[in-house]
Amino acid sequence: MPIIEKDGEKIWRRRDPKTALIHWLTTLGIALVVVYCARQISAQTTWDFVWTSGLQAQDLANRMMPPKFSYASELWTPLIDTIHIATLGTLLGIMIAAPLAFLTARNTTPSRLFVRPIALFLLVTSRSVNSIIWALLLVVILGPGMLSGILAIALRSVGFVGKLLYESIEEIDTRTVEAITATGATGPQILTYGVIPQIAPTFTGISIYRWDINIREATVLGLVGAGGIGMELQASIDTLAWSQVSILFLLILSTVVLSEWVSARARSAVT
């Protein structure tokens, strides 16, 4: 923090002139990019629709009210299916992610040159493709239904759980591992007694957190045909039955909030 002397007075500034200049130029550059991008979007927007969006919203709200409560009784099976998709998908995902994480972590990988890059690439691929897109691909192959949904959730979860897990494996306390090694333990014994106890709470925490995210994702997988309550949503939107849509929104909202609460409680109990 420089102090600039001017006319015998000391003035305190946060940045010296050079850093301030770089700072302002960066800001200006970002601002120019943003303005350019905004103009691109604006060019492709039908502003008339945007100006009348208030009316549209009001119209939608009118159609949604009152919610068709009788419809809710048909929704329990899809809702339970949604939870099954999330849970089974998470289980399958963590079963694939755990070995991959050990292959990726620098301190446990069998080969840094060959195995680690491959495992890392698999994790990145799984993470870059959203579960909805995984579901689109799987629906093409396996047909619509829960199976595609479960696999889509699993494939997306692998990257998330795997990344967080391998980072926590790399951060373990090496002294414990050294102590176990000193007793003459074999490789698998070092893993089970030296590494796994250190990462177990993190692993459980990550898995529960991912489950909670997966519940949220599973509610919309049905929009592309991968089972669960989203299929009902798709059907209701396609037939413009907005009074059913509002019931579905309420149900999805309460499921998501409830699962978030359960997940927060479970995580604070574990860690």
Partner 1 sequence: MSEVTQPTNQTVRTWRRPPQIKDPRLRWALYIGSVAYLCLALASVEIDVARLVEGTVRAKSLFAGVLSPDFVTRWTDIRAGFAESLTMTVVSTVLGVLLSIPIGLGAARNLAWRPVYLVCRSILAVSRAFHELIVAVLFVAMFGFGPFAGLMTLVVSTVGFLGKLLAEEVESIEWNAVEAVTSTGASWLQRVVYAVVPQVLPRYLGLTLYRLDINFRDSAVIGLVGAGGIGATLNTAFDRYEFDAVAAILLMIIGIVLCAEYAASAIRKRVL
Q: What separation in angstroms does the CA of 1 have from each of 28, 58, 178?
A: 23, 53, 45
H helices present in the chain, as ranges: 17-43, 47-51, 53-64, 76-104, 115-128, 131-142, 146-170, 174-182, 187-190, 196-221, 229-238, 242-270
DSSP-derived letter for residue 173 is: -
> Mask: binding to partner 1, 3-32, rule CB under 8 A, as x and -?
---------------------------x--
Q: What separation in angstroms does the CA of 240 have from each of 56, 123, 237?
A: 14, 39, 5
Q: Do 153 and 82 touch, CB atoms closer than 8 A?
A: no
Nearer to partner 1, 110 or 258 (CB): 258
Query: For partner 1, which residue of 19, 27, 45, 239 counts as binding (CB under 8 A)?
Result: 45
Query: For partner 1, which residue of 153, 164, 224, 231 counts as binding (CB under 8 A)?
Result: 224
150: contact with partner 1 by CB under 8 A: yes
262: contact with partner 1 by CB under 8 A: no
> Most distant CA pair in the chain: distance in Å?
81
Query: For partner 1, which residue of 92, 180, 241, 256 counts as binding (CB under 8 A)?
Result: 256
Q: Which residues bind partner 1 (CB under 8 A)?
A: 30, 33-34, 37-38, 40-41, 44-46, 49-50, 53, 56-57, 60, 80-81, 84, 87-88, 91, 124-125, 127-130, 132-133, 136-137, 140-143, 145-147, 150, 200, 216-217, 219-220, 223-224, 233, 237, 249, 252-253, 256-257
